[in-house]
Amino acid sequence: MSGHNVILDVQNLQTYFPIQGGVVRKTVGYVHAVEDVSFQIREQETFGLVGESGCGKSTTGRTILRLIEPTSGHIYFDGQDLCALDKESMRQKRRDMQLVFQDPYASLNPRMTVRKLLEEPLKTHFSLSQAGMDEQVLWISQAVGLSPEQLERYPHQFSGGQRQRISIARALITKPRFVVADEPVSALDVSIQAQILNLLMGLQKDLKLSYLFISHDLNVVRHISNRVGVMYLGRIMELGDTEDVYHTPMHPYTQALLSAIPKRDPSEEKARIRLEGDVPSPASPPPGCAFHNRCPHCTAACKEQVPESRELSPGHWVACHLYD
């Protein structure tokens, strides 16, 4: 179903945030939010990024849209290096790449009607007549399941699920080809989550979209993604086809993460790999493998060398010394 043309190619992406201290705000260190991340997204594909809070998955998504400037690395969109673009050309480029935010309560301006909210991206990116805008607004509101009379209402008059529909409509009205969906269903109830996921999958088919789908919910990522990358402390530990990764997880972190999903059935017997301790701070990541201090299979090499990502089976990449 998904094409083979690569639409987005991220190479060795790094994003550091400076930590400032003292009276003169001198830089005393860096938060290593994204560390040497590389992956590709093909046309009409959903690539899932999954990981625990603070692992850098959202920062990765935002850096790709250059909402946060990368420290180093390359982002090729359609073969063009986004990092080399100046501000104005990047702004124009965003017509093709959009973002859906997590919290539909915070991402919509409460003083604008839905119609105004939907017209805003059109005004930014196109110069259309009022009739032309009306046509686009009507088209997208139908596509996401909003009725015409709802267009004159304000965000507070909608429930969380409805607001997320508005956010999605806002992202898609410029007809982008690539969408970063940053935890789009995390703030929603279970029964509403399913509606929004179905909507996202339906729109992908109709509008031929590629998604970067960021979530901490392993079940949701499994459901929607063709391929998935597992992040830990700024690095991608394992990357591959969703079913490969979920059926035969190779990295000890992925194995532990998957075994921590609560069981779906009270009678199910589940062996759980227990991880001791907490995720280390990205401001002072441990030397060697980022996971070594929690890993049940830690060896001397893990403490010193950062493992390189290797392709163990076609398309299935793992960064772990166990497979050296």
Partner 1 sequence: MDHLLEIRNLSIELPQGRRKPPVKLVEGVDLTVRKKQNFGVVGESGCGKSITCSSIMGLLSFPLSLGQGSSIRFQQGDGREVEITGLSKAELRKLRGRDISMIFQEPMTALDPMYTIEEQICESLLFHASLSKAEMHDAALEMLRKVKIPRPEQILKDYPHHLSGGMLQRVMIAIALINNPRLLIADEPTTALDVTIQAQILDLMNELRESYDTSVIMITHDLGVIAETCEEVAVFYAGQVVEQSDVNTIFHAPAHPYTAGLLRSVLSLGGAQQELYTIQGTVPTAGNFSVGCRFADRCEHCMDICRNRAPALSEISPGHLCRCWLHADTPKEETA
Which positions lie near partner 1, rule CB under 8 A? Answer: 52-53, 159, 161-162, 189-195, 197-198, 201, 216, 218-220, 222-224, 226, 242-243, 246, 256-257, 259-268, 272, 274-275, 277-279
Smallest gap from residue 198 Cβ to partner 1 (A): 5
Q: Are 166 and 113 in contact (CB under 8 A)?
A: no
Nearest CB to partner 1, comparing residues 87 and 274 = 274
Nearest CB to partner 1, comparing residues 85 and 261 = 261
Nearest CB to partner 1, comparing residues 272 and 310 = 272
Other CB atoms within 10 A of residue 52 CB: 15
3 state SS of 316: strand
Q: Are 13 and 38 in contact (CB under 8 A)?
A: yes
Q: List alpha helices for the chain, DSSP H.
A: 57-64, 87-93, 114-125, 130-144, 160-172, 190-207, 218-224, 242-247, 252-259, 300-304
The half-sphere exposure of 183 on its side-chain side, counting CA atoms within 13 A, is 19
> Which distant-in-sequence residues (6+ apart) come within 8 Å of 128 by Cβ?
122, 136
Smallest gap from residue 63 Cβ to partner 1 (A): 22
Smallest gap from residue 62 Cβ to partner 1 (A): 20
Nearest CB to partner 1, comparing residues 63 and 162 = 162
Smallest gap from residue 191 Cβ to partner 1 (A): 4
Nearest CB to partner 1, comparing residues 116 and 223 = 223
Q: Are 105 and 187 in contact (CB under 8 A)?
A: yes
Smallest gap from residue 324 Cβ to partner 1 (A): 25
Smallest gap from residue 223 Cβ to partner 1 (A): 5
- What's the token pair of residue 215? 């979530």
3 state SS of 41: strand
- Cα–Cα dist 101/119, whole Å: 18
Nearest CB to partner 1, comparing residues 141 and 174 = 141
